[in-house]
Amino acid sequence: QIIITNGCLEAVTLSVMELSAPGETVAIFTPCYSGLLLSLHNLGRNILEIPCASDGPDMSVLENLMAEQAFKVLILSAIAYNPLGFNLSVEVKQRIAALAHQYQSPLIEDDAYGELAYHGQPNSPIVSYASRQTDQKKSAPIIYCGSFSKALTTGFRVGWLATHGNISPFIKRKLSINLTSSQPPQVGLADYLYSEGYRAHINRLRGVLEREINCLSEAVLRHFPTGTQLGQVRGGMFVWVKLPENLESMDLYQAALAHNISLSPGEVFSMAGMATHCIRLSASHPWSDEREAAVVVLGKLTEGLLRAR
């Protein structure tokens, strides 16, 4: 069963409202995109941040937290994770689905970037493994949320919330907030989805993004000082960079701003201050000499911060 929402964040927010109450604990992967952190903060939920390495969470930590019932619901993304860019392996996704079933631990799967795994990467969401291997009547809910914001454009504000369980409580939540979602963009999108154009666009976009990310990653490795670390990006449009010698990302952010260069400081990806030495760079614009020059400036600014220590 599915309802159309105003983007993915509304679908996730409605799910959080339905599956937890103010003051209860909601778990997320960290670093985590800031929109979700703000939404959880506004909803008055306690936020439990589960640290992720460049290839995903530590599964034994996740299992222990589920076994201890340390949270009411877990929000997670398996594909082209924003900001780390990992894709969880099929084995890990199967394991998470199985653990959720074993511990009756509800999941909210945010699949906003689900179409943006690079070619050859696994791209089925966790929910697809749950539906195959569990008895629906006994299983904990997995609420599957997504949108066309990343694959097409944020401006459509067309997303969805899907569940194998009862959708009525989610419809009531949606009605109480803003009744329904605007129909004209849905009609236009439906036509496009039935054409061959959408699939062709996604296939092209995956290749384009991978090339842009490679250009950006190589430029960072060329121009940033030794000790800078990058993860391997498997999907999406972001590169996550760990600065050398635990430099503060806010210092680089401020210095970059003075040169008209925009980056996302690690501060905004964790309420618990777990990402202060990292930055996120975006590859959502075509690679160009101007962008290379900006990376050169960032590298020099980083060197300057190291020297000023």
Ligand X SMILES: Cc1ncc(COP(=O)(O)O)c(C=O)c1O
In the complex, the residues that contact ligand X under the rule CB under 6 A are 7-9, 33, 35, 77, 82, 110, 112, 147, 149, 154, 159
Q: Which residue in the block uniquely carries the two structure tokens 């296939």?
A: 203
The answer, yes or no, to whether the previous bond of 31 is cis (omega within 30 of 0) is: yes
Using the minimum distance from each CB to ligand X, give the nearer residue, 247 or 271: 271
CB of 205 to ligand X, least distance (A): 16
Distances (CA, A) of 230 to 24, 89, 217, 220: 35, 19, 8, 9
d(CA 224, CA 222): 6
CB of 77 to ligand X, least distance (A): 5
The minimum distance between CB 7 and ligand X, in angstroms, equals: 3
154 vs 254 by CB, closer to ligand X: 154
> Is the Cβ of residue 8 or residue 99 nearer to ligand X in the bound state?
8
The nearest distance, CB 32 to ligand X, in angstroms, is 8
Gap between the Cα atoms of 15 and 170, Å rounded: 7
Half-sphere exposure of 136 (CA within 13 A, CB side): 9
Considering the complex, state which of residue 14 and residue 219 has its C-beta at the smaller distance from ligand X: 14
**Minimum CB distance to ligand X, residue 258 (Å):** 26
Q: Could you tell me the smallest distance in angstroms from the CB atom of residue 28 to ligand X?
A: 10
Beta strands per DSSP E along the chain: 2-5, 25-30, 46-53, 56-57, 73-76, 107-110, 142-147, 159-162, 229-230, 238-242, 264-265, 278-282
For the bound state, the minimum distance from the C-beta of residue 138 to ligand X, rounded and expressed in Å, comes to 29
Cβ 153 to ligand X shortest distance, Å:
9
- Which C-beta is closer to ligand X: that of 34 or that of 128? 34
Peptide bond into 22 cis (omega under 30): no
Indicate the residue among 7 and 266 with the shorter CB distance to ligand X. 7
Give the orientation angle of helix 197-223 with respect to helix 183-194, to 10 degrees. Answer: 90
- All residues at 6 or more sequence positions from 128 whose CB lies less than 8 Å from its CB, including other chains: none
**Sign of the dihedral through C-alpha 130, 101, 92, 19:** positive
Pick the closer one to ligand X by CB: 124 or 282: 282
Query: Under 8 Å CB-to-CB from 270, ≥6 apart: which residues?
Result: 30, 31, 32, 37, 49, 276
Of 154 and 195, nearer to ligand X (C-beta) is 154
CA separation for the pair 108, 15 (Å, rounded): 7
| Residue with the shortest CB distance to ligand X | 7
- Percentages helix, strand, coil for the chain (3-state, rounded to 5) are 45, 15, 35
